[in-house]
Amino acid sequence: MAVLSRSRMRKKMQRKEVGALSRDFVPVDGFVSFALAKLFWTKHFKMKYNDEKIKAAVRSSGRPLSYREKERQSMRLHGTGRINERGHLEIGGCDTVELARRFGTPLYVMDEELIRKQMRRYVNAFRKTGLSFQVAYASKAFCTMAMCRVAEEEGLHLDVVSDGELYTALKAGFPPESIHFHGNNKTPFELEMALDAGIGLFIVDNFTELSMLDRIAGEKGVRPRILLRVTPGVEVSTHQYIQTGQEDSRFGFGLSSGQAIRAVKEALQARHLILEGFHCHIGSQIFGTGGYKLAVGKMAALAKELRDRFGYLPRIFNAGGGFGIRYVEKDQPLSPEEYVEAIADAVRNSFEGLPLPEIWVEPGRSIVGEAGTTLYTVGTVKEVPGIRKYVSVDGGMTDNLRPALYQAQYEAMLANRALETPEETVSIAGKCCESGDMLIWDLKLPPVRTGDILAVSCTGAYTYSMANNYNRNRRPAVVFVRNGEADLVVERETLEDLTGKDRIPDRLRANPVSGGPALKVR
Ligand SMILES: Cc1ncc(COP(=O)(O)O)c(C=O)c1O
Ligand SMILES: N[C@@H](CCCC[NH3+])C(=O)O
């Protein structure tokens, strides 16, 4: 529950920061609002989120830190992150300055222990509910073969959304029967590939796909299991680009328009499909449980209507993902346990009178987000006198598109001088020819010098997976760190990789064709 004064709440709603139904906001007046907010801050926020992370900061064996310093560092240290005796950031027992030297920068460093811990938290939280469940990792957040191996080892299912993700999973040896295929525009090629592989389940998004899948499955003589993706008409408070549950959404069958009911009818009539139930995903980076509860309620109402009209009972209800994480101090997500408990309670209450369906979830960000740290080398440091100091790093929107796309905010520290006092405010710029390629505005750091290693925290989700080659920059390497060992799981692209798929038509060939200077390719 959050507390807002009436005037702030009104302003937020006008700015559309607060979807009316998305979070448990309680409007109160003046002084009461201040007092309650303070109480809430101290009891809930500080205790819940800082304690564990402050402990990590305290574990640092450098000089003793003040409470403020510990708190500040707690925002940048996650999982096994600590500051070692050399005053360097260490993750998974590996000195990040050494990692930068060994693998080059930019470099994505993934804390494998934290990834596994997050996966287990979801599974254990569901076990406690006593309900039947399934946790799938939404691989769009971060998809590599090593990551698929970790998900399988932890007993999770995998959600894929393209032939590329499916191929990665299959090549990594992920069991096809534990793969769920998502997407609003699956191509015939993708459907065939998935059917040939024998994947476990399709989440069907629209009527075109429903009939196409039925037809292709018939041609192949198979009968895949499906869920129907339903758009519940729930608008959550998150960036507009990552809301998906509102009525005007390009994902799923609309509930209020009657499309969802029609889709169930068609799916039940389809000769080559097995309808297992419904799915809904209301958005991403969601901090409250109000939206989930509302969506569950609507799904249960749909289930009751279908029972009454067609005698149909869903066996599975997939509540999607979207559970938020704490990128910066102002973010106040709940824990995986709290999200799971809220969804399980809502299902128990709303499905009363119906057989309880299996509950599935598919978190992505909350499994890998905090486990990732991106290391950069500081290049130019430029002062616009009296206005701002720009610190440029050797990556940017090519390895992390989120600030440019969603105005996403991040915390960062100097990995090589982690215990020095931040005393100047700088802005971190990427290296692309775009004014919008700014990773962080107004960040407090110790005086920054060329050659410093900047560590941006919480970059495990939607960074590597959204990386691109703009300005013909190379995509960075990814390492998994654990127990003092660093394993390269994705190599850095080479210059040769950048031109590897280029072809020069004969009429454009340079003269002489095989001449020219010797080029460095690394
Ligand atoms: C259908 C679906 N499921 C799961 C996810 C994972 O979301 P998140 O990474 O926010 O948990 C997404 C992405 O938002 C999605 O579109
Ligand atoms: N790419 C988004 C999340 C996409 C969610 C996919 N449905 C992000 O970085 O926040």
For ligand 2, residues with CB inside 6 Å are 140, 242, 284-285, 402, 462
Better-predicted residue by pLDDT, 177 or 17 = 177
Bond preceding residue 403 cis, omega within 30 of 0: no
- Say if residue 75's pLDDT is above 90: no
- pLDDT classification of 312: cutoffs 50, 70, 90: very high
pLDDT over 70, % of the chain = 84
Average pLDDT of the segment spanning 173-192: 98
Global confidence as pTM: 0.87
Question: Which residue type is seen at 464?
Answer: Y
What pLDDT does 254 receive?
Answer: 92
Round the average pLDDT of the chain to a whole number and report it.
88
Q: Can 432 be counted among the known catalytic residues?
A: no
What pLDDT does 7 receive?
Answer: 47
Give residue 138 CA to ligand 1 midpoint distance, Å: 6
Q: pLDDT tens, 431-448?
A: 999 999 999 999 999 999
- Say if residue 3's pLDDT is above 80: no
What pLDDT does 247 receive?
Answer: 78
What pLDDT does 172 receive?
Answer: 98
Which residue minimizes the CA distance to atom 13 of ligand 1? 284
Q: pLDDT tens, 458-501?
A: 999 999 999 999 999 999 999 999 999 999 999 999 999 999 99
Alpha carbon distance 174, 228 (integer Å):
24
Q: pLDDT tens, 135-153?
A: 999 999 999 999 999 999 9
- pLDDT classification of 68: cutoffs 50, 70, 90: low
Give residue 466 CA to ligand 2 midpoint distance, Å: 9
- Say if residue 47's pLDDT is above 50: no
What pLDDT does 65 receive?
Answer: 59
Query: In testing the pocket of ligand 1, which one of 121, 122, 140, 229 has its CB within 8 Å of the most ligand atoms?
Result: 140
Q: Could you say which of 148, 280, 433, 458 is catalytic?
A: 433
For ligand 1, residues with CB inside 6 Å are 138, 141, 159, 182, 281, 284, 320-323, 362-366, 461
Residue 445 class from Cβ within 10 Å (0-12 exposed, 13-18 middle, 19+ buried)?
buried
Determine the atom of ligand 1 nearest the C-alpha atom of 203. 1
Q: What is the DSSP letter of 125?
A: H
Closest C-alpha to 120, from 89, 161, 154, 150: 154
Average pLDDT of the segment spanning 330-337: 93
Whether residue 361 contacts residue 341, with contact meaning beta carbons closer than 8 Å, is answered with no
- Say if residue 25's pLDDT is above 80: no
Query: In testing the pocket of ligand 2, which one of 160, 229, 251, 284 has its CB within 8 Å of the most ligand atoms?
Result: 284
What distance separates the 2 farthest-apart alpha carbons in the chain? Answer: 80
94-95: strand order across its sheet? 82-83, 89-91, 94-95
- Sign of the C-alpha dihedral computed for residues 184, 189, 192 and 193 taken in this order: negative
365 annotated ligand-binding residue: yes
What pLDDT does 515 receive?
Answer: 57
Give residue 44 CA to ligand 1 midpoint distance, Å: 27
What pLDDT does 32 receive?
Answer: 46
277 annotated ligand-binding residue: no
What pLDDT does 67 receive?
Answer: 53
462 annotated ligand-binding residue: yes
What pLDDT does 261 receive?
Answer: 95
Better-predicted residue by pLDDT, 437 or 63 = 437
What pLDDT does 244 receive?
Answer: 81
What pLDDT does 513 receive?
Answer: 53
Q: pLDDT tens, 351-368?
A: 999 999 999 999 999 999
Give residue 407 CA to ligand 2 midpoint distance, Å: 13
Walk me through the domains of the chain, giving residue ranges and CATH numbers.
2-58 (no CATH), 87-110+372-459+461-498 (2.40.37.10), 131-368 (3.20.20.10)
